[in-house]
A = this chain, B = another copy of it.
Amino acid sequence: MKFTPPECINCTSRIGSLMGCCNQSELESVSATKSCFTFRKGQIIFHEGGKPSGLYCINSGKVKVAKMGSDGKEQIVRLAKPGDIIGYRALMADTNYSASAVALDDAVVCFVPKSQFLELISHNVAFSGGLMKLLSTALGDAEERMVQMAYKPVRERLAEALLLLRKTYQPADGTDNFTISISREDLASIVGTAKETTIRLLSEFKDEKLITTKGSSITILDADKLYSICHLYD
């Protein structure tokens, strides 16, 4: 759904994100060219296999980037928050999307056409450098998670996933206990396991007073202990 777009200049999300590399005139140009959409929870932003024609920049809401496994099971490969861009991998590799992006919340997402994106890359060194750093960091994260999938037991990966959620979506001010509403299905897709196993291990964590749950929302009570669980052997 399209609607009146927010101005990039006023977008606080851009601080500390790739768009922060743009100067004022570039931001104005992007603002003028982009389209902006709202997505309801669960709606698809782009679809695995589809052809990318631009870049998505998240203005508000949470987004998952996920691949379909061979037997229909979903694996979340990345989580995105306001200020993050998604869809850049396919654009740079010049391939179709290798994953889908889905809104976890109601979200506002801006679309920057490919031509303008390439323009920024070729004219703004900070921007292209930032993009390379983004790619490199994402590659490092993906390789790290690949090792975890291979060798870490589910319990440790679940602790890791909870901390990843906190790290990604913790509000800036937040010194409080972190709370997030996430379906057990989605959580299992981060961990790379079955929903039932996730639920069982969450119950263990509840017994151990590491978290509490209410409906689908989870509150982290003891992040330090979660941290020590996922670094058992380190």
A interface residues with partner B (beta carbon < 8 Å):
67, 69-73, 75, 77, 88-90, 92-95, 98-99, 122, 125, 128, 131-133, 135-140, 142-152, 156, 192-193, 231-234
Contacts of A192 in B (CB 8 A): 146-147, 149-151
Contacts of A77 in B (CB 8 A): 143, 146-147
A152 to B67, CA, bound (A): 13
Task: Quickly give the copy total for this chain.
Answer: 2
When C-beta atoms are compared, the residue in chain B nearest to A193 turns out to be B150
Could you list 15 examples of A-B contacts with CB < 8 Å?
A69-B150, A70-B151, A70-B233, A77-B143, A90-B136, A92-B132, A92-B133, A93-B136, A122-B125, A132-B135, A135-B139, A142-B142, A146-B146, A149-B149, A150-B193
A135 to B133, CA, bound (A): 10
Smallest CB–CB gap between A186 and chain B, Å? 14
Contacts of A137 in B (CB 8 A): 93, 95
Partner of A144 from B67, B93, B140, B193 at Cβ < 8 Å:
B67
A99 to B140, CA, bound (A): 9
- Residue contact A143 to B67, C-beta cutoff 8 Å: yes
User: Which 9 pairs, one residue from A and one from B, show the smallest C-beta to C-beta distance?
Assistant: A150-B192, A93-B136, A149-B149, A69-B151, A142-B142, A70-B233, A135-B135, A92-B136, A75-B147
- Residue contact A136 to B133, C-beta cutoff 8 Å: no
Known contacts A132-B92, A136-B93: does B70 contact A143 (CB below 8 Å)? no
Partner of A93 from B92, B131, B140, B233 at Cβ < 8 Å:
B140
- Residue contact A150 to B92, C-beta cutoff 8 Å: no
- Residue contact B150 to A149, C-beta cutoff 8 Å: yes
Partner of A75 from B98, B122, B131, B151 at Cβ < 8 Å:
B151
A142 to B77, CA, bound (A): 10
Contacts of A75 in B (CB 8 A): 146-147, 150-151
When C-beta atoms are compared, the residue in chain B nearest to A70 turns out to be B233
